[in-house]
Amino acid sequence: MITVNTLQKMKAAGEKIAMLTAYESSFAALMDDAGVEMLLVGDSLGMAVQGRQSTLPVSLRDMCYHTECVARGAKNAMIVSDLPFGAYQQSKEQAFAAAAELMAAGAHMVKLEGGVWMAETTEFLQMRGIPVCAHIGLTPQSVFAFGGYKVQGRGGKAQALLNDAKAHDDAGAAVVLMECVPAELAKKVLKLFPVRPSASVRARIATVRFW
């Protein structure tokens, strides 16, 4: 079974790590059989499965259900599940309660959106045994605040994204996912993630999705 330590070893060896989105057991089984290391149960299911206009209406109950489905199909891959909008932003304790439900449903790691202001929550969760994937850059749960699905981190906002990545790294995030950021900025962020000694439980991986 793929674990955080597995990912750390793969990164240290320079091996590629694949992560694909899955919402149900049949596709999860196919991806698992193909050797995909990480399966993301994304709140994008709101648009891809439920026919909604954004990820915002997706509930924790929805995420637990789809996490359970994916967990039934995957035998080896690491399952990463999104904390949905409204289920973790209020307090660290709220985030832990929601994350615990996702872990009980079959997740091996939870993903949360937000920059420096969410780093304290990342630390709170990982200190309690819940690996965290920190999602920065274009965070779809904030799409209306951004004014649409737009590239983030351009110009004077580049330093803010670097600060976001560093804050989550210092807080113990196992994975940092950057979405819709300029390629040059992504390269700068990647330099913040050296491979740590094997004693570390953190994978120190940066996953990049840019348009």
Q: Please, where are the H alpha helices in the chain? A: 4-12, 25-33, 45-48, 60-73, 92-105, 119-126, 143-146, 158-171, 183-190
Distant-in-sequence, close-in-space partners of 53: CB < 8 Å, separation ≥ 6: 47
Give the other-Cβ count within 10 Å of 154's Cβ: 12
Return the DSSP state at 196: P
Examine the residue annotation and report whether 179 is marked as an active-site residue of this protein: yes
- Strands 38-41 and 78-82 turn out to be parallel
Sign of CA dihedral 113, 114, 118, 123: positive
199 SS3 class: coil
Distance CA 21, CA 181 (A): 20
Residue from 24, 68, 179, 184 carrying the catalytic annotation: 179
Question: Which amino acid is present at 49?
Answer: V
Contact 119, 171 (CB under 8 A): yes
Residue 118 corresponds to which tokens in the numbers above? 């969410």
Catalytic residue annotation: 179
